[in-house]
Amino acid sequence: MPKCYHCGEEILEREIFQCSKCGQNYCSLHRDPINHECNIVKENLNLQRFQPPTPSYVDSSQLSSTTQQNMYQQHLTQEEMRGTTDGTYTWYRQEILVPENAFDPDSGIQFKGILFPHKSEFLHLLIGASLIFIIGLITFYDRALIDLNLTWTIFMLASFYMTAFLFHEFGHRQVAIHFGLQTKFRLLTFGMLITLFGLVSGIISLVGGVTGLPALALPGAVVVLGLDKIDRTTGLCKAAGPIVNLVYGSILLVISFIIPRDLYPLNNLIGVAAYLNFWLGLFNMIPIGILDGQNIWKWNKKIFLILFASLLILLIVTHVNIYVTNPYIP
């Protein structure tokens, strides 16, 4: 039975899609040139025409780490579960080498669902952080705080909201770098649409003085290339974000109790910042769709349950502290 040249899945004769550009057969998921990296396939096929046949036996000790990695990818079986295509971009690269810098404009890689894919990471971070901060200002805006000369608290909470998001993404990024994977923060096309909708609805709510829809914000995410299947690497890359929120939130929670009550509402604000981190981490642990929890659950259910329970317990404790007992008030 013929197989998809991109992912290796067997396909029925009537479901074969042949690309007019590279001439290879693909399944319905990878029929479009952008979905099977057509430019790279054509380049690879042209190179293969001029390469001499390789010997049937090669000592593994003589292979480079890059070659070994690609040989490993070539022998992935269909039964192995693979990561989902989301912010941590799944790359089904089995038959060709991964470019040294896939984010370079000359790499030939086309990224689906990513806005300005070949622009600098700093620009993506600047835009994403700014939008998160503005959404935070809208979310925490309270006229009563301004009347009490506590305007600074709105900016402080918006800043903590932004850092909770950025630290979560940096967690994914740094673990991916640890495993030698190519990774950068990138603005997501669909996420930007959601964020802009939340921004507009929030501004309308403030101007009109009415209660509107919650201001949603998901401008971008860390893109990781090479998460081919559900294994330890994928699991740890996914778990890094919620773990960072767990650690960051726990530190903030401890600090909120260390700060003297005389400095209220500063201690309360730090408690709210901890709450934001636990909420963000727990939300991403939901095992559905593109959220981190889905792949963590598939990889290691024990780690999923421990991380989920820890975030949930701390979220409840923080919620009670802020909205019920409030030990921060002098």
- Angle 107-112-116 from CA coordinates, rounded to 5°: 70
CA distances (Å), 185 to each of 81, 107, 146, 168, in order?
A: 25, 18, 35, 11
- What is the dotted CATH code of the domain comprising 1-59? 4.10.1110
> Which residues does residue 220 pair with via DSSP β-bridges, in sequence order?
187
> Which residues does residue 114 pair with via DSSP β-bridges, in sequence order?
188
The CA distance from 326 to 101, in Å, is: 51
Q: What is the pLDDT of residue 99?
A: 67
Contacts of 265 (CB under 8 A, 6+ apart): 150, 153, 328
Alpha helices in 27-150 (DSSP H): 38-48, 65-74, 121-140, 143-147
The CA distance from 35 to 21, in Å, is: 13
Q: What is the pLDDT of residue 244?
A: 97
Q: How many CB atoms lie within 10 A of CB 174?
A: 14
Q: What's the pTM value of the predicted model, to 2 decimals? A: 0.73
Q: Exposed, middle or buried by CB within 10 Å (0-12, 13-18, 19+), for 104?
A: exposed
Domain range list for the chain: 1-59, 114-325
Contacts of 65 (CB under 8 A, 6+ apart): none
The CA distance from 39 to 37, in Å, is: 6
Give me the torsion for CA of 277, 279, 280, 283, rounded to 10°. 160
- Which of 254, 249, 250, 224 lies closest to 236, judged by CA? 224
Q: What is the pLDDT of residue 90?
A: 44
| DSSP string computed for 150-206 | -HHHHHHHHHHHHHHHHHHHHHHHHHHHHTT-EEEEEEEHHHHHHHHHHHHHHHHHH
The CA distance from 157 to 69, in Å, is: 44
Q: What is the pLDDT of residue 187?
A: 92
CA distances (Å), 257 to each of 247, 264, 316, 325, 326, in order?
A: 16, 11, 16, 13, 11
Give me the torsion for CA of 274, 277, 282, 286, rounded to 10°. 170
The token duo for 94 is 């089995």
The token duo for 253 is 């929670």
- Which of 291, 273, 284, 274 lies closest to 308, judged by CA? 284
pLDDT in tens, the chain (330 residues): 788 887 777 888 888 888 888 888 888 877 888 777 776 677 666 655 555 554 444 443 444 444 444 443 444 444 333 333 344 444 444 434 556 777 777 776 777 788 888 889 999 999 999 999 999 998 898 888 999 999 999 999 999 999 999 999 999 999 999 998 889 999 998 889 988 888 888 888 888 776 555 567 889 999 888 776 788 999 999 999 999 999 999 999 999 999 999 999 999 999 999 999 999 999 999 998 778 999 999 999 999 999 999 999 999 999 999 999 999 998
The token duo for 245 is 């929120």
Q: What is the pLDDT of residue 305?
A: 97
The CA distance from 90 to 224, in Å, is: 7
